[in-house]
Amino acid sequence: MDFKDPSKPPRVRAELLLRQMTAEEKVGQLVQPFGWQAYAHKDGNVVLKETFKAQVARGGVGSLYGTLRADPWTGVTLETGLSPVRGAEAVNEIQRYAIEHSRLGIPLLIGEECSHGHMAIGATVFPVPLSIGSAWNVDLYREMCRAVAKETRAQGGAVTYSPVLDIVRDPRWGRTEECFGEDPFLVGALAVAAVEGMQGERLDAPDSVAVTLKHFVGYGSSEGGRNAGPVHMGWRELLEVDLQPFRKAVEAGAASIMPAYNEIDGVPCTTNAKLLDEVLVRDWGFDGMIITDCGAIDMLAAGHDTAEDGMEAAVRALEAGIDMEMSGEMFGKYLLQALSEGKLKEEALDRAVVRVLTLKFKLGLFERPYVDAQLAGEAIGADAHVALARQLAAEGVVLLKNEGDALPLDPSAGKVAVIGPNADLGYNQLGDYTSPQPADKVTTVLAGIRAKLGAERVLYAPGCRIRGEDRDGFPAALETAQQADTVVMVVGGSSARDFGDGTIDLRTGASKVTEDAWNDMDCGEGIDRLSLRLSGVQLQLIQEVHKLGKRLVVVYINGRPIAEPWIDANADAILEAWYPGQEGGHAIADILFGDVNPSGRLTLSIPKDVGQLPVYYNGKRSRGKRYLESDLQPQYPFGYGLSYTNYEYANLTVTPVAIGPDEEATVSVDVTNAGGVAGSEVVQLYISDVASECTRPALELKGFAKIGLAPGETRAVQFRVGREQLEYVGPAYERVVEPGRFKVLVGRHSADTLAADLLVKEDGNR
């Protein structure tokens, strides 16, 4: 029983344990059933199901997925779900049974969803990744990841299926909200922060969880923006763009990775041995666990049609490099039979088992399989985490327009009408992958503004829903707007699944429960769109309100960019808030009234029209000139965002002006707050390779710094530029720095920069 010796390295312990395992026990380690189906919760009691017990007896459970997940898909509600303390106790009971009723006492790996907070009842709901990316604050995101890890591990969750590192190329895709943006450098920086924050200094710490990087790879570049559609991408672009954040995260020590559903050049990622073995393991040295997405192996036989049946699909996935199957259906059903029939190589099975066991040893599950349930009650939803959620939400809000200094609003002047379908629906501001919430936990925009001004000065009418053609609420909304001095229109999208919370009365704004609750979803996983326009009659509502001649402030709460030229032209001010999480209402109110100076910057280019797509900033120089109706420039470029103050850039210098391929230059620029209020500016560094053997993007983000400046303050901001910033994947598909001239650009955003030259000398010679 040497595998129980904690002084031995995890890999050694895993190999020692493997020698004692039967074939059934080996296969069991690769199977991950749905955790919420392992128990029943009724009248405060948790009872383990007989099906789960039978699986344990056969050695057929290595992990559980979403044991504490609550949402309409799982069927777990606020009434049937588990509190933070009870959830921790339940996981302990499940873990104890698995250990005490299996021959070798191997603990379970409890995997949970934590994209923007643990998807369990009571956990803090942070802004969605698209909002987090817009904050451009790597340190703050790392702090958020520490908080999420603490809340998750407190309940026994040991691995999370995040961060999402997909590069968005078509924002019609419903999962855009789960991504950080369109730039691989920015996504890579946040990926490293996620690994550092979630995994901490040691995986076996009581406040650390193993990350699972997803979706590997190209998932955000699907054909037509359709979920899991084919990806048409050359190998060079794959290496330079989509694989780049994953490589940075693997170098940072990521413990797990999840292949994407899609195919690339005809090969599904689930069986792409070149990606899973050659690139990930051999080239990058990844030594962690590889787990499928839910149902991905099934798709090989029914979707991609690259396997004749389930057995062939399971064997091909395992031998390509997969270690564990989320849902476990194909592995659990076929691998043992395939092994006995000689269709599966035993060394492939052993390789997968060792990688799963190694992760369990690294996490310290054999020494500390249980958690202190009382500590879960203290950690989950802690005040410090709520304050962090509010700060992140505020920093992620992007001020797109502020005509005539319409914002900030004067808190002592007049009445404010808050109108629109997202003004007071809490679920609509949380995004997908969110658990059920008690009504008093989520602060809506209406509640946030009322907290600033008092209820008597804040009027409200929903006006319409997100979707549908119902205009019954228009008269009440117009009457409400007529009584106010300023109208704040809160519109956008919804990724709220049917949580059974009913709907709202369009005439009164009151909540009402209906037998068939209206589902307003127009975003989220599996909800892809033809258009980037506002759904339903929201635009028409805004146009009718505009006729009243009131100051009009539009607040977008949504999961993908919105292209509405009329609003861009006619609104006095526009805020893009994305899905800001449970504290979003407070954060938006803080910005509307000037308590917080907006510092969010776009991580996605917003087109003038959907017909411009793709419109990402780092496209090739050879992408073309214009359309008949319009040029190729977006309405709002990558990196763009306004402030309540003005920032001036001057004195851009590059020292030295010539370097060798392995040398560095220092880039310096003076940034001044030339306005009257304090603020934070995102200083952005771009590199443009003037001439290269293979075609390159016109410019690429290679550095950024978010700095706070007092009125009148000037600060010199410096960046280092060397091989990492200058290299690209050359003709031989290797990273090279070619000699020649480079443009170094620094400024407010991708379309507003100062420029200087940098010369790279051949072989370091002048």
Section 542-555 average pLDDT: 98
% residues pLDDT > 90 (the chain): 93
Contacts of 96 (CB under 8 A, 6+ apart): 369, 370
DSSP of 175-231: GGGGS-BS-HHHHHHHHHHHHHHHH-S-TTSTT--EEEEEEETTGGGBGGG-TT--B
pLDDT in tens, 148-200: 999 999 999 999 999 999 999 999 999 999 999 999 999 999 999 999 999 99
84: cis peptide before it, omega within 30°? no
Q: Where residue 507 falls among pLDDT bands split at 50, 70, 90?
A: confident
**Do the bridges between strand 714-721 and strand 665-673 make them parallel or antiparallel, or are there none, so unpaired?**
antiparallel
pLDDT in tens, 433-477: 999 999 899 999 999 999 999 999 999 999 999 999 999 999 999
- Token code pair at residue 196: 């550092």
pLDDT, residue 572, reads 98
Q: Where are the beta strands (DSSP E) in 201-333?
A: 210-216, 256-259, 263-264, 267-268, 289-290, 325-326
For residues 2 and 19, is the Cβ–Cβ distance under 8 A? Answer: no
Asked if the model's pLDDT at residue 245 lies above 70, the reply is: yes
For residues 26 and 14, is the Cβ–Cβ distance under 8 A? Answer: no
Asked if the model's pLDDT at residue 510 lies above 80, the reply is: no
Q: Which residue, among 267, 127, 133, 242, has the nearest Cα to 193 in the 3D structure?
A: 133
Q: Where are the beta strands (DSSP E) in 606-733?
A: 647-655, 658-659, 665-673, 679-689, 700-709, 714-721, 728-729
Strand order in the sheet with 752-760: 658-659, 752-760, 740-749, 679-689, 700-709
- The CA–CA distances, whole Å, from 100 to 51, 53, 104, 107, 299 equal 17, 11, 9, 9, 36
DSSP of 598-639: -----SSPBPSSGGG-S--TT-BGGG-SB-SS-BS--SB-TT
- Token code pair at residue 90: 């339940």
Section 256-270 average pLDDT: 98
Asked if the model's pLDDT at residue 103 lies above 50, the reply is: yes
Section 112-137 average pLDDT: 98
DSSP symbol at 403:
G
Q: In 3-state terms, the chain is what percent helix, strand and coil (to 5)?
A: 35, 20, 45
Classify domain 397-622 by CATH number: 3.40.50.1700
Domains of the chain, by residue range, sit at 397-622, 647-764
pLDDT, residue 512, reads 64
Cα–Cα dist 593/641, whole Å: 18
Using DSSP, state whether 290 is helix, strand or coil.
Answer: strand
pLDDT in tens, 610-665: 999 999 999 998 888 889 999 999 999 999 999 999 999 999 999 999 999 999 99
Asked if the model's pLDDT at residue 296 lies above 90, the reply is: yes
Section 664-672 average pLDDT: 98
For residues 126 and 392, is the Cβ–Cβ distance under 8 A? Answer: yes
Classify domain 647-764 by CATH number: 2.60.40.10
Cα–Cα dist 67/149, whole Å: 16
Q: Residue type for 47, please?
A: V
Q: Which residue, among 35, 37, 44, 40, has the nearest Cα to 83 in the 3D structure?
A: 44
Least confident of 58-62, 279-283, 353-357, 575-579: 58-62
- The CA–CA distances, whole Å, from 652 to 117, 197, 657, 719 equal 40, 34, 12, 11
Cα 524–chain centre separation: 12
- Measured N-to-C along each axis, helices 329-340 and 346-362 cross at an angle, to the nearest 10 degrees, of 140
Cα–Cα dist 227/223, whole Å: 9
User: What is the residue-averaged pLDDT of the chain?
Assistant: 96
| Number of Cβ atoms within 10 Å of the Cβ of 362 | 23
- Measured N-to-C along each axis, helices 383-396 and 584-592 cross at an angle, to the nearest 10 degrees, of 50
Q: Residue type for 75, please?
A: G
353 burial via Cβ count (<10 Å: 0-12, 13-18, 19+): buried
Asked if the model's pLDDT at residue 514 lies above 60, the reply is: no
pLDDT in tens, 350-364: 999 999 999 999 999
Phi and psi at 741, nearest 5°, equal: -95, 135
Asked if the model's pLDDT at residue 519 lies above 90, the reply is: no
Residues involved in catalysis? 293
